[in-house]
Chains A and B, each alone.
Chain A
Amino acid sequence: MDSYYKPDDLPRFPEMGKEAPGLWEKFLGWYRAVFAEGALTEREKALIALGVAHAVQCPYCIDAFSRTCLEKGADPEQMTEAVHVAAAIRGGATLVHGLQMRAHVHRLSM
């Protein structure tokens, strides 16, 4: 294996159903239901997915949901803002842990 991530693996995702078809079908059914139009539009869900894809740093998900966002009518400005939301939450999550650091410092310091 020359690389951990290969673009050609994305369309092979269904191969994950080979050893556990029952679980795969359950996953697919739930996945489709999650992304269907509901209280949120398909476009809003695609933008959330794009942000989460960046937060979990999954290149397959970024590839897939960049296209999905465009095909649901999102524009690059909206997609960029979604990535900023993900980045802000990651950044904020890091920063808010600083309170733990401060608590430890307070406990250990005179």
Chain B
Amino acid sequence: MARIRTLPTLDRRGHPLSSSGFQRAALDALPLAHAFHDAAAEAAGGPLRAANVEVLQINVGKRCNQSCRHCHVDAGPDRAEVMPRAVLEACLQVLERSRIPTVDVTGGAPELHPAFRKIVTRARALGRHVMDRCNLTVMRLACNADLPGFFAEHGVEVIASLPWYARRRTDAQRGEGVFEASIEALRALNRVGYGHEGSGLLLQLVTNPAGAFLPANQSALERDWKRELGRRYGVYFNRLYTITNMPISRFLEWLLESDNLEGYMARLVAAFNPAAVSGLMCRSTLSVGWDGSLYDCDFNQMLELPIGSSIFDLAAGRADLAGRAIRVGPHCFGCTAGAGSSCGGATAAA
């Protein structure tokens, strides 16, 4: 099997964009037609506020075996940030003491965290639904060859990234060799029952546009993907989620280098869909950073826009997050453009 080609992260290169402050300044300097705060307030009838937490999204670190060109985390093999045991325990304490129904484990490649299986096992023992955001190629590592069986045993919902159903566009975004390894991983998941209707084992695919444009209609793409992945590779899955690329980190780097930033942001602003505001994932998600800091979403986490409390505060009952004002910025137009975008795909009719 071909080797997966990776590139150094912004962090390793010492790139100015490895600073979240530099990223925020670049976005704030753009001449946008509207501020997100105003657009969202008009659509929601007031400032954006959090509702009940439905999803605890745990970002266990920035280590990854890939270095995708659009990665908003700046994850890669050279990143050292890994969630310490004390933070993991606090996350599990919060789950024990709350009714948050879903745990969403992300990274980096979350499966590279040494305690990944423990998190899954304990969250499932608490009766919580567990989703794993999987890059697929992590399964080709010898230590992870049994991951499909582990996922099936614990009924984990697998959310797998695959930008396109053909090699060229996938490898252009995620690295040479990724497509072939991803198809092998999908076949392995299919073999244990994932993606087959009625098996109860959910395999969802995630596609991001390979460039500075909005995703296509989710249901139309899903029909194409089911037909083409079945016909070409004998691969099956349940749902396709379309996700808009966020102007953060390495995608921001590409937008700047390709002179697409201003045009892309103007496109996101022009495509603002008021109907997407009520379903914004930040309203029902609590995002935990590798160091225990809390955020409204994974994007705010990468731009270092914290809520101001930690998972330790929450575990100790010292944080009241209900109805909090969501922190917003120009990047938020990425979640309200067109049919809307979230970790679960489109959120509204376009």
Residue numbers of A with Cβ under 8 A of B are: 41-43, 67, 70-73, 75
B220: A residues at CB distance < 8 A: 41-43, 72-73
Report the nearest A residue to B338, measured CB to CB.
A71
Q: How far does the alpha carbon of A70 sit from the alpha carbon of B208 in the complex, in Å?
A: 12
A43, B213: Cβ atoms closer than 8 Å: no
Residues of B within 8 A of A43 (CB): 216, 220
Alpha-carbon separation in the docked complex, A72 to B218 (Å): 10
Q: Name, among A41, A43, A71, the residue most crowded by chain B CB atoms within 10 Å (CB to CB).
A: A71
Question: Which of A41, A42, A72, A73 is most buried by chain B, counting CB atoms within 10 A of its CB?
Answer: A73
Residues of chain B from 193 to 246 with CB closer than 8 A to chain A in the complex: 209, 211, 213-217, 220-221, 224
Interface residue? B251 (CB, 8 A): no
Q: Determine whether the beta carbon of A73 is less than 8 Å from that of B213.
A: no
Interchain nearest-CB distance for A12 vs B (Å): 13
Question: Does B217 lie within 8 Å of A72, measured CB to CB?
Answer: yes
User: Of the candidates B166, B211, B217, which one forms a contact with A70 in the assembled complex, judged by CB atoms under 8 Å apart?
Assistant: B211
> SS class of chain B's interface: helix, strand, loop or mixed?
loop
Candidates A42, A71, A75; contact of B215 at CB < 8 Å: A71
CA distance A70 to B216 in the complex (A): 7
B contact residues around A71 at 8 Å (CB): 209, 213-216, 338
Chain A facing B: main interface SS: helix
| Contact across chains for B213 and A70 when beta carbons are under 8 A apart | yes
Chain A residues, Cβ within 8 Å of B169 = 75
In B131-182, the 8 Å CB interface with A consists of 164, 166, 169
24 contacts between A and B (CB under 8 A): A42-B220, A43-B216, A43-B220, A67-B213, A70-B209, A70-B211, A70-B213, A70-B216, A71-B209, A71-B213, A71-B214, A71-B215, A71-B216, A71-B338, A72-B216, A72-B217, A73-B216, A73-B217, A73-B220, A73-B221, A73-B224, A75-B164, A75-B166, A75-B169
Residue of A nearest to B214 (CB): A71
Residues of A within 8 A of B217 (CB): 42, 72-73
